Amino acid sequence: MDDRLTDTKDIERSILRYNNLFSGLLVLILFTLIVSIYLIITINPAFAFCLLFLIPLVIIMTHISGRRRAQRFLLQIRTSWGNSHIPEERNFQAIRPLFDYIYSAGSNSNYIDEQTWKDLNMNQLYSKIDRTYTDPGQSVLYKILRTPVFDKETLEERNRVISFFQNNHDMREKIQLRLMNLGHQSMQNDVFNLVWRDEFPKSKAKILLFIMASVSIASLIIPAVLWPLSVVTASVFWSEYIGLVLALPVIAFLANLIIHYYIKRRKDIETSSFPYLIECINTAKRLASIKCNDLKNYTLKLNTLSSATQSIIKKAKFLFPPNQDYNDPATGFMWEYLNIFFLLEIRAFYNTADEISRHIHELRELYLTLGELDAWQSAASYRTSLSTYSEPIFVTNGIRLNVKNAKQPLLENPVPASISFKKNVVIITGSNMGGKSTFLRNIGTNALLSQTIATAVSSQYQGSFFRIITSISRTDDLIAGKSFYYAEAERILKTIQSFNKEIPTLCIIDELLSGTNSTERLHASEAIISYLTKQNVLAIVATHDMELAGKLNNTCDFYHFTDNVDETGLKFDYLLKPGIATTQNAIALLKYLGYPKEITERASAHDPQV
């Protein structure tokens, strides 16, 4: 039997034991409480000492509850590790702001643009890869997949860390438990909005807040001092102004009540993300305490960053009620009263905001470092879920791409495809639904995964570093008033303008200029492809146009997909073969769909291949 499976069964039994212990202790605590109350009421109040027995019982129950929670987390980690089915939906509006911030700042121009991301169905693939436990992990993983890298050292280091998580179960689970304990804050990723905001609220009334808090303290001290003095001296002053003196705390409370809710109504006093930020700092400290030479770069960095930001935790201690997780109404009411009376939350908020502003660069680095660790363990889990994968090999001399048994990672049972480029432009021909578009996405996706998470869904991947741009899924832009052809031509121009002399471009195009008449399409397409053969690109162009393929026979490599359509249905083997396709299926497909015989016979009469 598999050792990991045995461990999982042991964890399930351990959780069951903790459940039984917890239930038993709960019954014992309730029994002790009831008996103590009965003895106090019916026999002697001195039996109140029996309640002291509740203290160790509650401590033990709290410890068991924590152990049970940790075992449940560990069971979840074990059962989800390497799982190929990740069904959860993703809120990309909350996940992508980190990438959007970097893109808008212009710090990285070699990103995957929106069209290419959409063409490669990367939102769906991201959801399969994403096994992160935290908000920073989700954001950083998305950023990684949108920004391929172009140097061996970076990818080798990524591959080393991902492989470490694959091969060191115990250390990986220690890290995963800490990340899972941090968890996700909300579907809006408010902590990112906090750490990457441009300005932090500044209070012009800090002195006023301090004075009003001091007045509240004084309103309590004055009656406490004057009362004994009046008793000792029989002061007439006390008897005349007793009402005013006793009203001082009420007056102070009402004044601070107005200030409290006036400031809270302002938009800049949003504290919902503060607890998660503080927990991020605490998690960084816990991860930094792990002794692991293979992750020393991360643990040392987290130790430095968590130490530098500890002052934020101290400033924020009055922002949140004690024992807020227990939801005790009495405690909550008392805390709210003290909070308003001494303006604790308002003052703590501005003090914390000032501290966050002072350490904003450390907090951003902490967010990114936590996110990277989470992203790498997620990539390791995704690798483990694959039936076939390889660690890509990159070459820097010339333009190369050699892929064996590449699989489209979004398909359940994909047909592997292999290709080795001899010329820098490859033309893919074949009939409708034969597999051309799937192949294009297959190559583009594998190139992107290789240059981001150092993982190719193939038995071998060897190639250059590429800037990746595609033109596969195109539609009319009705709002902008652009036709299908105009939008397509615009996209091809953007592709051409993106070519770089230093870094070759992997250019993937499906049905070049398909939105215009056949004569002009043929001439324009031939001109564009001829231009591509002279550029620093590796281009893959899929087309139905056999005449175009014939004109380019000496300048490009050719591959094709075949098909068979008869009365029984459509048959495809989805295997990539060398050469130009010799069959077509458009009219046969009309027959299969049940078009009127007059239409299909008339169409067949004009087509010598049918």
Where along the chain do its domains lie? 3-80, 393-605
CA angle 283, 287, 293 (to 5 degrees): 165
Task: Please give the residue that has the higher pLDDT: either 481 or 121.
Answer: 121
Tokens 């049905």 map to which residue? 511
Asked if the model's pLDDT at residue 204 lies above 70, the reply is no
Q: Greatest CA span in the chain, whole angstroms?
A: 123
Residue 301 in this model has a pLDDT that exceeds 60: yes
Within 13 Å and on the Cβ side, how many CA atoms surround 116?
25
Residues whose CB falls within 8 Å of the CB of residue 365, separated by 6 or more in sequence, listed in order: 301, 305
* Alpha carbon distance 388, 417 (integer Å): 13
Instruction: State the average pLDDT over residues 456-463.
Output: 95
Coil, strand or helix at 555: coil
For 62, phi then psi, to 5°, come to -65, -40
- The answer to which of 239-253, 361-375, 379-393, 455-469 has the lowest mean pLDDT is 239-253
Strand, helix or coil for residue 548: helix
Fold assignment, 393-605: Rossmann fold (3.40.50)
Distance CA 485, CA 476 (A): 8
What tens digit of pLDDT does each residue of 322-359 get? 555 444 555 666 767 777 777 777 777 888 888 888 89
- pLDDT of 409 reads 92
Residues 6+ apart with CB under 8 A from 262: none
For the entire predicted model, the pTM comes to 0.80
CA distances for 466 relative to 162, 424, 442, 590, angstroms: 22, 13, 15, 40
Query: What is the number of other CB atoms lying within 10 angstroms of the CB of residue 416?
Result: 18
State how far the Cα of 543 lies from the Cα of 163, in Å rounded to an integer.
40
Cross-strand pairs, 471: 509
- Write out pLDDT tens, residues 74-119: 777 777 787 877 667 888 998 999 999 888 766 566 899 999 999 9
Query: Which residues neighbour 221 within 8 Å (Cβ) at sequence distance 6 or greater?
Result: none
Strands (E) across 126-251 are located at none
Average pLDDT over residues 188-215: 76
DSSP-derived pairing of the beta strands 505-510 and 537-543 = parallel
pLDDT 10s digits, 145-176: 999 999 999 999 999 999 999 999 889 989 99
Cβ-contact 88, 127 below 8 angstroms: yes
Question: What tokens appear for 218 in the block?
Answer: 């004084």
**Inter-CA distances, 302 with 177, 211, 285, 332, 362, Å:** 17, 39, 7, 34, 10
| 481 residue type, one letter | G
Q: Token pair of 79, please?
A: 């059962």
Full DSSP string of 502-545? SS-EEEEEESTTTTS-HHHHHHHHHHHHHHHTTSSEEEEEEES-
How many angstroms separate the Cα of 309 from the Cα of each of 162, 271, 315, 355? 28, 18, 11, 8
Q: Name the DSSP class of 177.
A: H
Measured distance CA(160)–CA(370) in Å, rounded: 17
CA distance 334 to 446: 59
Residue 592 CB partners (closer than 8 Å, separation 6+): 565, 566, 567, 569, 570
Given a cut of 90, whether residue 54 has pLDDT beyond it is: no
| pLDDT given at position 330 | 57
Angle formed by the axes of helices 206-233 and 236-264, to 10°?
A: 160
488, 514 in Cβ contact below 8 A? yes
Between the ranges 32-36, 415-419, 497-501, where is the mean pLDDT highest? 415-419
Beta bridge mates, 420: 402
Distance CA 417, CA 575 (A): 7
For tokens 């705390």, what's the residue?
Answer: 249
CB atoms within 10 A of CB 80: 15
| pLDDT score at 422 | 87
Q: Per the structure block, which two tokens stand in for 377?
A: 């363990």
Task: Dig out the tokens for 253 from the structure.
Answer: 């409370």
Helix and strand numbers (H, E) in the chain are: 24, 12
Confidence at 135, pLDDT banded by 50, 70, 90: very high
* Integer Cα distance of 189 and 600 in angstroms: 56
d(CA 470, CA 301): 38
Q: Give the sheet arrangement for strand 577-578, strand by strand.
A: 467-471, 505-510, 537-543, 425-430, 557-561, 577-578
Give every CB contact of residue 263 below 8 A, 6+ residues apart in sequence: 203, 269, 346
> What is the average pLDDT value for the chain, to the nearest integer?
82
The residue with tokens 């992750």 is 295
The percentage of the chain sitting over the pLDDT mark of 70, rounded to a whole number, equals 83
* pLDDT in the model for residue 332: 62
Residue 380 has pLDDT above 80, yes or no: yes
Nearest-angstrom CA–CA distance, 522 and 549:
10
pLDDT of 290 reads 93
Give bridge partners of residue 540 from the DSSP assignment: 426, 508
Element (H, E) at 429: strand 425-430
The neighbour count for residue 278, using CB atoms within 10 Å, is 19
Bridge partner list, 469: 507
Q: Say if residue 523's pLDDT is above 60.
A: yes
